[in-house]
Amino acid sequence: MAASSERSPPPFPDSEEPELLEDSDEGADAFTGTSISEMDSPSPDSTRPPKDIFNEPPEDIFSDPLSNINPEPQKKVDTKIPSPSSDEAVDLFSEPLDDDSEVMSSPEVQNPMPDLLNEPVEAPKSDVLCEPPVHKNAARQQDFFEDPPKGSNNSSSSVKKAASAELFGDDEDEEDLFKETPKVVTKKPQPSGPPVDVFTEVKSDVKVKPQVKDDPTDMFTEEALTAPAQKPPASSSSSSRTNGVHSEEQDLFSEATVELSLDSPLNDRKKKDAVKPSLSAPAASVASSSSKAPSKTLEELEEEESEDKFDLNISVTNPEKVGDGMNAYMAYKVSTQTSLTMFRSKTFTVRRRFSDFLGLYEKLSEKHSQNGYIVPPPPEKSILGMTKVKVGKEDPSSAEFVERRRAALERYLQRVVCHPSLLQDPDVREFLEKEELPRAVSTQALSGAGFLKMLNKATDAVSKMTIKMNEQDVWFDEKIQDVENEEQHMRKLHVMVESLVNHRKELSGNTAVFAKSVAMLGSSEDNTALSRALSQLAEVEDRIEQLHQEQASNDFFTFSELLADYIRLLGAVKGCFDQRMKAWQRWQDAENMLQKKREAEAKLLWANKPDKLQQAKDEIAEWEAKVTQYEREFERISATVRKEVIRFDKEKARDFKRQIVKYLESLLNSQQQLIKYWEAFLPEAKAIA
Amino acid sequence: KIYEPEVHSDRRKWRMRSVSVDLNNDASLVIDIPDALCERDKVKFTVHTKTTLSSFQKPEFSVPRQHEDFIWLHDTIVETEEYAGFIIPPAPPKPDFEGPREKMHKLGEGESSMTKEEYAKMKQELEAEYLAVFKKTVQVHEVFLQRLSSHPMFRKDRNFQIFLEYDQDLSVRRKNAKEMFGGFFKNMVKSADEVLISGVKEVDEFFEQEKNFLLDYSIKIKDATAKAEKMTRSHKNVADDYNHISGALNNTAADNNTAFKNMCVLQKVEDRMASDQELKLTELLRYYTRDIQAAKDLLYRRARALADYENSNKALDKARLKGKDVAQAEENQKQCLQKFDKLSESGKKELTSFKARRVVAFRKNLIEMTELEIKHAKNSVSLLQGSIEILKSN
């Protein structure tokens, strides 16, 4: 596909690219497969947008409204692919109805009705009636539509020129439009309401096209880069435009609907081409887009920050034992250095104890993991290690434990603040800034084995649910598998590195013992030169012992701990998938419930019991709302998880590369030292005579 | 199906580098083992001799010999009264292929659970280990013969010449259980005797010194050997870990493949480092542990002779007192003195040359080991630098 070849890799980690390409290809295939037969696309570009929209998480926001607008056309299209214009016609016919209901934001009876009963009947009819005008209208509308906004709105005209700016502009408009739609929704009773709504959607549709001409992948980053700057003007202009458009071009609305329906079936098919019962999505789409818009801009902001590699240095230092006996605990100095304006000063220091770190995680996890965020997990509680610290005085193993934990806490905090959304969390700020924190309670649940158990439980739940969930999204399907495999590998690798650490420590110990033994041998040797050489050898071995020891701690801190961190993080990633799965499950349950309610209603109709009908209708309305809400939530969490996982992968690649280079450098250093030592020894050996 | 390594039936050839001692400096009798064949638990060495000595029928010949033949040769020399005044080269230790063989077996069992690459890698690794043991075994056997051939007395030994020349299977009888026990018992007696005669006052300061030195040295070198063995073993473990890690990394990060392949090579370097350390240092120490034991045996024999002499003196005194068998006692005393003097004389020579030999061998091995350490470390450095560059560039 042309679009895919245009993709520029930079925004994505290398490993991601193939998958994305695959995705897009599939999407494209699905698309072209049907589009050719069914669509005399009014503008050449319009063939592409849906596909691209689809593949980019942020674009889901656009496609949401579109795809949700009307599921029915989709069905019809499916049944009548041979006649290209028929679906358009049908759409023309049915759409206004739907739009009405949509605007009312509470799904109406009309919705289920066509769905269940009327569709097949209605479709042919409309087919016959409306076919010719549709074509014309569609084409004409396109022109119309593109012109006025261009004239009235800068951002929309710029669309055609500068790619990135335009992308961004669209994006913003979109959001703003959607922000506005709720207003429109409230004006529901007015006759002009529905058309406006439709129109905004159409507009969004049209605007998507230029994006497609452009490089789709870039959208992601570029919009992010430019977003904050352009935001305020965009919102005002778009709102005025919407008003203007809707007053001036009333007659277009019907055509606009056609436009809309052209795309929506496509989107729909792709998105839920499986067995999804039709929804009365429009209301949801409006709501979801409006609710999503602000959160998305926030994300953009964050994205930008992360690109800047925000200026925030956190270090955890000075572990200190506070108190005595079993009530003793370790307190750490958490120092922050930043130029971010969200903090009160540039440098500040607080003292935190281990349970505070756990408490922070708990708070963050409570708030964010259900939304599909990967909340970095803190190091596990270690009762054994801590008890040693509490009891033991100056035991090297407890010193190592403290250092290990300190380093782990530091990495943990760095990961937290590296996460753009978590950084915004007031609890994080409080943790870093506030002098006194309320004592974290119930962190016991997170202690050592408990924490692992929790993760395992989540893992089990995921695997169980995978069976139930027929994964529609190839990306997720693969990713879940990847994460699973990766975790396996990491665990294996971790075991090996641990054994390396132990063996090297052993080697270090044995070298030390050997050095002593050689020194003794040297002292017994009666040949002076040989004796000297042997004691030199002992010294060399002593140094090598030091080297091994240092290397063992490098093995541990740069390599083994990295793996341990990522095993924990992968657990968190799996938790995200789990959350998504849960959202899906909730949605499906609601869907089933709705189905049941509708069946009940049909029965009532059949049995002619009008007294209970109203109640049934109310219930249906209630469940429809729930379904849309849950679906929306699912879409949102999917998008978030996806974004999070991509971010995680990127971070991981960077982290690993950095750490492995660091590790190899430590090995290199050891070897260089080794050369030095032996080279110094060589003349001694040669001096033996 | 149990995995049978090819090495078992493979003929492996290599150029010999005399490692533990500098021998073969006399061109009139040059011995080496150019080839060995390993069959199950038997190792057949090809002993190749090149000589200008007239006592041999041909100037050059090769014969097949087994480890047991070497032991037989050693035992006959030890038992020869004539050689009591010499340090008898220590017998080569029994070939021990248990380690690698057991691993081979495990590999065969685990074949189904491993990926092809893992299996091939393991196999390769094992074969390398097997070869290393094999090489070492051949070497100690060769050194034993070279020590004999370079000694002015042993080289003329009849049994030694038969060992070198007789082109049929020597088919020496394996020691039976009784003899084994007898040998063990003899050792016990010897140890007890050693304690007994340690009370005998040393008349010669040289031997007194030498005795103290050797006793002390043998304890120290035994200790050092054990420690060195431990060290090389743990070094090998580290090398093994590298190997596993590089394998796992290869699986994990496909994109950084080249960097991790280097890691794999790194393992080989580390492994080589460990084996060379083992070969150059541990083997040296091991050899000298045995050699010092041989020197101590010489001292024992001399001390025994001294004790005998003193006893004969006492017996002579007694005989004179009683006036009986005086002539016989005098004869006995004279013989004992002669024997003792002879032992002292050759022993002094032997111990002096032993010292020189030891210093030379230590020097050689330490230099070689150091050079190898440097070489391997340099290899590692360049490998690591390569890996880091690759990682940094992509």
CA B255 to chain A, closest CA, distance in angstroms equals 8
Contacts of A71 (CB under 8 A, 6+ apart): A115, A268, A272, A276, A278, A279, A281
Q: Residues 193-252, chain B: which have Cβ within 8 Å of A?
A: 213, 216-217, 220-221, 223-224, 227-228, 230-231, 233-235, 237-238, 240-242, 244-245, 248-249, 251-252
Residue B299 pLDDT level (bands cut at 50, 70, 90): confident
pLDDT category, B99, cuts 50, 70, 90? confident
Question: What is the distance between the alpha carbons of residues A11 and A3, in angstroms, rounded to a whole number?
Answer: 16
Q: A256, A59, A61: which is closest to A146 by C-alpha?
A: A256
Cβ pair A664:B388 closer than 8 A: yes
List CB contacts of B139: < 8 A, sequence separation 6 or more: B16, B18, B19, B20, B283
Q: What angle do CA B154, B159, B160 make, to 5 degrees?
A: 50
Q: Do B245 and A500 touch (CB under 8 A)?
A: yes
Residue range B171-185: mean pLDDT, rounded: 65
For B359, which of A15, A506, A530 is closest by C-beta distance? A530
Structure confidence at residue A242 (pLDDT): 39
Residues of B in contact with A517 (CB under 8 A): 220, 223-224, 227-228
DSSP state of A352: E
Q: Which of B266, B355, B377 is facing A675, going by the closest CB pair?
A: B377
Compare CB distances from A668 to B223, B234, B388 and report the shortest one's residue: B388
Q: What is the mean pLDDT of residues A129-154?
A: 41
B235 CB neighbours in chain A (<8 A) are: 507
Residues in A closer than 8 angstroms to B266, CB to CB, are 667
pLDDT in tens, B104-129: 777 777 767 767 777 777 777 778 77
A83: three-class secondary structure by DSSP:
coil
Tens digit of each residue's pLDDT (9 = 90 or more) over A589-629: 888 889 988 888 888 888 877 778 888 888 888 889 989 99
For residues A87 and A249, the answer to whether their CB atoms sit within 8 Å is no
Q: Which of B221, B363, B387 sits opposite A521 (nearest CB)?
A: B221
ipTM for the assembly: 0.81
d(CA A302, CA A310): 10
The secondary structure element, H or E, covering residue A643 is helix A610-686
- pLDDT of B244-273, one tens digit each? 777 777 665 555 455 556 666 666 777 777
Q: How many residues does chain B have?
A: 394
Residue A5, amino acid: S
Among candidates A248, A61, A10, which has minimal Cα distance to A172? A61
Instruction: Kindly state the DSSP code that residue A329 receives in the 8-state scheme.
Output: E
Interface residue B370 vs chain A (CB under 8 A): yes
Tell me how far apart the terminal alpha carbons of chain A are, to the nearest angstrom. 78
Residues contacting residue A328 through CB under 8 Å, at least 6 positions apart: A321, A322, A389, A390
Q: Do A665 and B388 touch (CB under 8 A)?
A: yes
Average pLDDT value over all residues in chain A: 63
| Residue A64 CA from chain centroid, whole number | 17
pLDDT, position A543: 93
Is B366 in contact with A525 (Cβ distance < 8 A)?
A: no
Which of chain A's residues have a Cβ under 8 Å away from the Cβ of B216?
524
Question: How far is Cα A544 from Cα B131, in angstroms, rounded to an integer?
Answer: 28
**Structure-model confidence comparison of residues B315 and A180, the more confident one:** B315
Q: Angle of helix B158-165 relative to helix B116-149, nearest 10 degrees?
A: 140
Around Cβ A672, how many Cβ atoms within 10 Å?
16
Distance from the Cα of A444 to chain B's closest Cα (Å) equals 34
Out of A258-262, A331-335, A449-453, B101-105, give the one with best mean pLDDT. Answer: A331-335
Q: CA-to-CA distance for A284 and A282, rounded, in angstroms?
A: 5
Do B367 and A490 make contact, defined as CB atoms within 8 angstroms?
A: no
Percent of chain A with pLDDT over 70: 48
For B195, counting Cβ atoms within 10 Å of its Cβ (0-12 exposed, 13-18 middle, 19+ buried), the class is exposed
Provide the pLDDT for residue B177: 62
Contact criterion met (CB below 8 Å) for B104 and B3:
yes
Q: Is the pLDDT of residue A172 over 70?
A: no
Contact B384 A671 (CB under 8 A): yes
- Cross-chain Cβ contact B241/A499 below 8 Å: yes
For residue A578, pLDDT over 50 is answered with yes
pLDDT of residue B198: 66
Q: Name the band, by pLDDT with cuts 50, 70 and 90, for residue A540.
A: very high
CA–CA dist B105, B4 (Å, integer): 8
**Contact between chains at B241 and A664 (C-beta distance less than 8 A):** no
Distance from CA of B393 to the nearest CA of A (A): 11
* Predicted local confidence at residue A297, as pLDDT: 44
Of A495, A496, A540, A676, which to mutate for an interface test with B (greatest number of B Cβ within 10 Å)? Answer: A496
Which class for B33: exposed (0-12), middle (13-18), buried (19 or more C-beta within 10 A)?
A: buried
Q: Which amino acid is at A350?
A: V
Q: Which pLDDT value is given to residue A44?
A: 42
Chain B residues close to A520, C-beta within 8 Å: 220, 223-224
The whole-model pTM stands at: 0.63
Lowest-confidence range among A223-227, A325-329, B200-204, B373-377? A223-227
Q: Which chain A residue's Cα is nearest to B232? A: A507
Give the model's pLDDT for residue A545.
92
Of B224, B233, B253, the CB nearest to A521: B224
**What does DSSP assign to residue A494?**
H
By C-alpha distance, the chain B residue nearest A675 is B374
Closest CB to A510 among B224, B227, B241: B227
B367 Cβ under 8 Å from any chain A Cβ: yes
Q: Which of A76-80, A94-98, A289-293, B203-207 has the highest mean pLDDT?
A: B203-207
pLDDT bin (cut points 50, 70, 90) of residue A544 is very high
For chain B, positions 373-392, list CB contacts with chain A under 8 A: 373-374, 377-378, 380-381, 384-385, 387-388, 391-392
pLDDT tops 80 at residue A513: yes
Check B221 against A533: CB less than 8 A apart. no
CA angle A163–A169–A173, rounded 5-degree value: 145
Q: Which of A187, A197, A209 is nearest to A242 (CA)?
A: A197
- CA-based nearest distance A573→chain B, Å: 17
Interface with chain A: mutation pick from B370, B374, B387, B394, highest number of A CBs within 10 Å: B370
Phi, psi of A222 (to 5 degrees): -70, -40
CA distance A477 to chain B (A): 19
pLDDT tens for each residue of A623-678: 899 899 998 888 888 888 888 888 888 888 888 888 888 888 898 999 999 999 99
User: Cβ separation of A537 and B234 shorter than 8 Å?
Assistant: no
Q: Are A217 and A8 in contact (CB under 8 A)?
A: yes
Angle ∠(A614,A617,A622) on CA atoms, nearest 5: 130
Say if residue B61's pLDDT is above 80: yes
According to the per-residue pLDDT averaged within each range, which of A167-181, A540-554, B138-152, B182-196 is highest? A540-554
Secondary structure (DSSP) of B11-36: EEE------SS-----TTEEEEEEEE
**Mean pLDDT of the residues in chain B:** 78
Predicted local distance difference test score (pLDDT) of residue A392 = 63
CB of B366 less than 8 A from some CB of A:
yes
- Per-residue pLDDT of B1-36, as tens digits, reads 333 333 333 333 333 333 334 455 567 788 888 877
pLDDT of residue B175: 60
Q: What percentage of chain A has pLDDT greater than the value 90?
A: 7
Averaged pLDDT for residues A565-570: 89
| Residue A473 backbone class (left: φ over 0; alpha: ψ -120 to 50; beta: rest) | beta
Name the nearest CA neighbour of B146 among B288, B26, B290. Answer: B26
Identify whether the C-beta of residue A559 lies closer than 8 Å to the C-beta of residue A679. no
Q: Using a CB-CB distance cutoff of 8 angstroms, which residues of chain B are in contact with residue A675?
A: 374, 377-378, 381
The alpha carbon of residue B28 is apart from the nearest alpha carbon of chain A, in Å, by 27
Amino acid A309: pLDDT: 54
Asked if pLDDT for residue A334 goes beyond 80, the answer is: yes
Q: Cα–Cα distance between A520 and A620 in angstroms, integer? A: 91
Answer whether B228 sits within 8 Å of A514, measured CB to CB.
yes
Shortest CB distance from B231 goes to which of A510, A525, A689?
A510
Closest among A577, A564, A640 to A412, alpha carbons compared: A564
